[in-house]
Amino acid sequence: MRGSLLPVTVKLKTEIAVVIPRLSRENVMIQVALFIPCFVDQLSPQIGLDMAQVLRRIGYEVNFPGDQTCCGQPAFNTGYWQEARPLAERFVKVFRSAEAVVSPSASCTTMVRIFYPELLAQSAIRQEAIELGKRVFEFSEFLVDRAHVSDVGAVFPHKVAYHDACHALRELHLKRQPRELLGKVQGLELVEMAYSEDCCGFGGTFATKFNMISAAMGDSKAGNAEASGAEFLTSTDPSCLMQIEGILRRRNSKVRTLHLASILAQTAGMREAIR
């Protein structure tokens, strides 16, 4: 990890600035800094764009700090704390002036808010990291608990099941917030699948170190999604959805995965864009 800080793509930064129209100044509340995790940056940048679109739609000014890199979670979770520490310190410096930081990943939000104080216990900027952590939010958490918005004007006429990602549920205690948002989407039917709180089996490097266990857990999750009758499975975490989507494809399932931000970004004129 040392010497290989992951750059955030120029494409994502450019599209956020160009594709999403700016609101007039009188409609702008606070400025929101986007924290785009590695999985989103490298594999599914549309999630970041969709999150920015929703934030702009409800009146927030969006800023994308181009110097951001990996938050250090993969190294931290694998035990490489020495390698993770410079990434954490860099994150604090990049986002230190942000009024609010919003991320489409509960696990990365957890890393900053919950685990940075421990990782940076001997760092000169530990207290600053703690204060910043109070301003870092998972996307659904920010909308419901900070912006006090549940209806973002989304339209998505499909049957949707929700997967409770481990960090969202167990560390950030987010269960009501994403469901509240989904419940306000026009045309959406929210169905609860069995064992929605069970881990999907991803767990970062767990999926490679214990691949047989990971696959079995994911297969169980995929089966529960299919049994729910849902057309789409959504969650707060792109890494969980990547794990489940891979298994659904191997099963030739009709169920598709779609991040919460991408559902909330949908409007009547965008429905045909869903594959």
- Whose tokens are 């940048």? That residue is 45
State whether 86 and 168 are in the same domain.
no
d(CA 216, CA 226): 15
Closest to 85 measured CA to CA, from 4, 167, 2, 6: 2
Classify residue 140: in a domain, yes or no.
yes
Task: Give me the sheet containing 232-234, strands edge to edge.
Answer: 189-191, 159-162, 232-234, 256-257
State whether 107 and 173 are in the same domain.
no
Classify residue 72: in a domain, yes or no.
yes
d(CA 223, CA 5): 37
Classify residue 80: in a domain, yes or no.
yes
State whether 165 and 260 are in the same domain.
yes
State whether 132 and 239 are in the same domain.
no
Strand partners, 159: 189
| Prediction pTM value | 0.86
CATH number of the domain that 96 lies in?
3.40.50
User: Which domain covers residue 76, as residue numbers?
Assistant: 10-146
Closest to 234 measured CA to CA, from 110, 36, 50, 33: 50
Measured between alpha carbons, how far apart are the two ends of the chain, in Å? Answer: 36
Classify residue 264: in a domain, yes or no.
yes
Query: pLDDT at position 29, please?
Result: 62
Please give the tally of structural domains in the chain.
Answer: 2
d(CA 240, CA 229): 20
Query: pLDDT at position 207, please?
Result: 64
Indicate the angle between helix axes 211-227 and 238-250, nearest 10 degrees.
Answer: 80
State whether 101 and 168 are in the same domain.
no
State whether 222 and 125 are in the same domain.
no
Among 115, 146, 177, identify where a domain stops. Answer: 146
State whether 19 and 89 are in the same domain.
yes
Helix (H, G, I), strand (E, B) or coil at 163: coil
What b/e string do you get for 27-64 counting C-beta neighbours within 10 Å, with b at 16 or more?
Answer: eeeeebbbbbbbbbbeebbebbbbbbbbbbbbebbbbb
Q: Render each residue's pLDDT in the chain as its tens digit; 275 residues.
A: 333 334 444 445 444 443 433 333 344 467 899 999 998 999 999 999 999 999 999 999 999 999 999 999 999 999 999 999 999 999 999 999 999 999 999 999 999 999 999 999 999 999 999 999 999 999 999 999 999 999 999 999 999 999 999 889 999 999 999 999 999 999 999 999 999 888 877 776 776 777 788 778 877 888 999 999 999 999 999 989 988 898 999 999 999 999 999 999 999 876 544 54
State whether 20 and 130 are in the same domain.
yes
Classify residue 153: in a domain, yes or no.
no
State whether 59 and 103 are in the same domain.
yes
Classify residue 5: in a domain, yes or no.
no
Classify residue 154: in a domain, yes or no.
no
